[in-house]
Amino acid sequence: MPDALHELQSAMRQFAQERDWEQFHSPKNLAMALSIEAGELMEHFQWLTETQSRNLSDEHKAQVGTEIADVLLYLLRLCDVLQIDPADAARGKLLINAKKYPVELAKGRSDKYSHLHESRTAGEDPA
């Protein structure tokens, strides 16, 4: 695991231990907390246009950064409790996605992988 992630994960573990919160950090509770924090992140973008979402004020960007931190910290804590290396898991998922979304079929398209492959077998132009 990259050093920065490892350091954050260790800091979260220590934070929980110092407060005797490990008893509350079941995978179920952590997954729920992660989902809630992801919802709070989405709230910042809920009614924005695409353009507005790409041009946040510095203050709004700082608020979004705080929510991103919450999501990351809960994710790292969940990985710690389940003994999953998040960097290894992400690398593995990138390999899976590369097979599901080959460049020659997916470039410039937002279709789900199953549709990309259906288009190919139906003779549809993948571009």
The CATH number that applies at residue 53 is 1.10.287.1080
Same domain, 70 and 122: no
Q: Evaluate whether 111 touches 91 at the Cβ level (below 8 Å).
A: no
- The two most distant CA atoms of the chain are separated, in Å, by 61
In 3D, which of 120, 3, 13 has the Cα closest to residue 74? 13
Same domain, 4 and 23: yes
Same domain, 39 and 1: yes
| Range of lowest pLDDT (31-35, 72-76, 93-97, 103-107) | 103-107
Range of the domain at 63: 1-84
| DSSP single-letter state for residue 112 | -
Same domain, 5 and 64: yes
Q: pTM value?
A: 0.84
Residue 126 has pLDDT above 90, yes or no: no
Taking residues 44-66, what's their average pLDDT? 98
State which amino acid sits at residue 84.
I
| DSSP single-letter state for residue 101 | S
Per the structure, the count of domains in the chain is: 2
Same domain, 63 and 123: no
d(CA 70, CA 96): 27
Model pLDDT for residues 65-82, shown as the tens digit of each residue: 999 999 999 999 999 999
Same domain, 59 and 113: no
Calculate what percentage of the chain has a pLDDT beyond 70.
91
Same domain, 80 and 23: yes
Same domain, 77 and 114: no
**58-82 vs 27-43: helix crossing angle, rounded to 10:** 170
